Amino acid sequence: MINIVLPVDFGDKTEQLVEGAVKFAKQLNGRIFLIHVAPSDIGFAIGDMGYQYFPEVEANEIRAELVELNKIEQRIIAHDVDCEHLLKQGIAKDTILEYAKDKNADYIVMGSHGRSGIYDVFVGSLTKGLTKDSHVPVLVLPIHD
């Protein structure tokens, strides 16, 4: 079976990306390893008293993101594609590459909004970093209007 790592950010084009990844997985008899990388600084804010940490803000945000991740996983499974997920805090590129290695990924599927001719904006800095450092192919799906 083909292992596909699918990073999601819960943006407005996530559903379009998921649909493309599901189609790809079905064509290859693949399974999807869904991942969302939350920033390490959730719960931190700069205020009158300087840099402060609010653990309840972090916990609430992580909980909400986990709910979203579970919903996406269930939509993928409803299309008869095997799926599991991971929510982890950290640096997105490094965490995704580590997850791809742990899951013995054959592909990483990313989205491109195609907003401009400038490479960094067109492909995105995360996608650019993954394609540069990944040891497995990175499939970039166009996800725009």
At 137, is the secondary structure helix, strand, or coil?
coil
In a domain, 53, yes or no: no
Ordered alpha helix ranges (H), the chain: 14-28, 55-78, 92-102, 119-123, 125-133
Name the nearest CA neighbour of 26 among 80, 105, 74.
80
In a domain, 48, yes or no: no
d(CA 98, CA 40): 16
Going by C-beta distance under 8 Å and a sequence separation of 6 or more, which residues neighbour residue 33?
3, 4, 5, 6, 83, 84, 85, 86, 99, 103, 105
Question: What confidence tier does 32 reach under pLDDT thresholds 50, 70, 90?
Answer: very high
In a domain, 79, yes or no: yes
Spell out the SS3 assignment of 90-128: CCHHHHHHHHHHHCCCCEEEEEECCCCCCHHHHHCHHHH
Average pLDDT for 84-106 = 95
Output the domain CATH number for residue 32.
3.40.50.620
Question: Tokens at residue 40, please?
Answer: 């390490």
Domain of residue 30 covers 2-39+72-141
Average pLDDT across the chain, whole number: 86
Q: Which of the two residues, 140 and 144, has the higher pLDDT score?
A: 140
What pLDDT is recorded for position 87?
94
Question: Tokens at residue 38, please?
Answer: 């939350």
In a domain, 18, yes or no: yes
Q: Give how far Cα 64 sits from Cα of 131, 132, 144, Å.
A: 29, 31, 25
For the ranges 13-22, 70-79, 95-104, 125-134, the lowest mean pLDDT is seen at 125-134
Question: What confidence tier does 8 reach under pLDDT thresholds 50, 70, 90?
Answer: very high
In a domain, 24, yes or no: yes
Average pLDDT for 48-59 = 69
Look at the chain and report how many structural domains it folds into.
1
* Residues pairing with 110 in the sheet: 140
What pLDDT is recorded for position 113?
63
Average pLDDT for 52-56 = 66
Going by C-beta distance under 8 Å and a sequence separation of 6 or more, which residues neighbour residue 102?
none
